[in-house]
Structure 1
């Protein structure tokens, strides 16, 4: 891409979703590290969606609440996503699944990258389950991500993996944003 083309392209809107709401969670620390790492980029405009800030209903309501509307509008405005997830019992937390399910069309044709954390598996079981969920929502999930073993004190050294993931997220995000602008996505069979 020519330098003049880069200046004309608005930054990609990336929502960083912190998926854990557990007391004492590491998600906030991981999210802070990640957004600091990505913060210097001019091609991305990051916003944090921390699920701990939402008061979602315990049961799926018949009508949309203000909190659900706020969440789905923020998902809709984003061009791409980075999901920060722990691994709980070899999967991702219920709080994240609940939030994902509140949106549907808002996810479609957008890329999703993962930053996972845990112990020996570094959260990779959670990511594999999330790939299935996001595939059903017709997103593009990135192969490369960041996997952090919380028992390894040097996990902050994962910066190169984060940079590669963000480069790929930027590529997919721009490609899909341009495609959505050119033609509507066919999401179901009539």
Structure 2
């Protein structure tokens, strides 16, 4: 682990019963956790205070940091505010992204400002990419910087084995590495800029 790793929040955007998001997020957090320049935490919107079993497993595997439940640091707001960069794991619902994710995004402002956002999407034939395109516009309004490169799973449930890992890891693994490389570049650059001078929105 580097002396000052970038703090990455991996956000599980779906809260539906039977959702597949925690599986995808756990895999991606594991990929990110292999890097020594990232400090990874899963932020599960279905259980914002206590986390989830899937999130806990990913945290153990990826070496993520724990937050105290019930404290400001352990709240969604605290976790988002502490993060230097974000990856949103989202499905596609009706050509867009989940309403609970929209509610959390809209409930915060400064937490997103001048920070990079990457996307991991999943769904049917589209792989959730239409949800990602909608999210780009929303995050632009919040002064966040979205990373062009994405990871997407088409027919996601058939892409993963019972161990929670992709059946063919080569393609998504390579896409994850590119996304993380670009996200880390932006994250470190913008963090340095934040420390040098406050971000101005008006």
* Correspondence 1:171 to 2:188: no
CA distance in 2, matches of 1:72, 1:29: 23
Partner of 2:44: 50
CA distance in 1, matches of 2:168, 2:154: 7
Q: How many equivalent pairs are there?
A: 172
> Residue by residue, what CA displacement relative to the aligned partner does 1:84-133 show, whole Å, maximum 9, x if unpaired?
00000100000100111111111100000000000100000000000011
Confirm or deny: 8 A CA contact 1:149 1:155 kept in the other structure: no
Confirm or deny: 8 A CA contact 1:18 1:48 kept in the other structure: yes
The answer to which structure has the higher helix fraction is 1
Residue ranges of structure 2 left out of the alignment (5+ in a row): 50-69, 160-166
Tell me the secondary structure at the aligned position of residue 141 of structure 1.
strand
Give the drift of 1:150.
Answer: 2.3
CA distance in 1, matches of 2:141, 2:72: 20
CA distance in 2, matches of 1:168, 1:175: 11
CA distance in 2, matches of 1:155, 1:142: 24
> Residue by residue, what CA displacement relative to the aligned partner does 1:151-182 show, whole Å, maximum 9, x if unpaired?
55346440000001001111000000000100
Partner of 2:147: 142
Confirm or deny: 8 A CA contact 1:86 1:118 kept in the other structure: yes
Partner of 1:38: 32
The 1:155/1:26 distance shift into structure 2, 3 A limit, reads: farther
Tell me the secondary structure at the aligned position of residue 111 of structure 2.
helix
> Residue by residue, what CA displacement relative to the aligned partner does 1:10-39 show, whole Å, maximum 9, x if unpaired?
100000000000011110110111111111
After superposition, the CA RMSD in angstroms is 2.0
Confirm or deny: 8 A CA contact 1:68 1:102 kept in the other structure: no
Q: TM-score, normalised by structure 1?
A: 0.85
Of the three residues 94, 100, 106, the one matched with 2:105 is 100
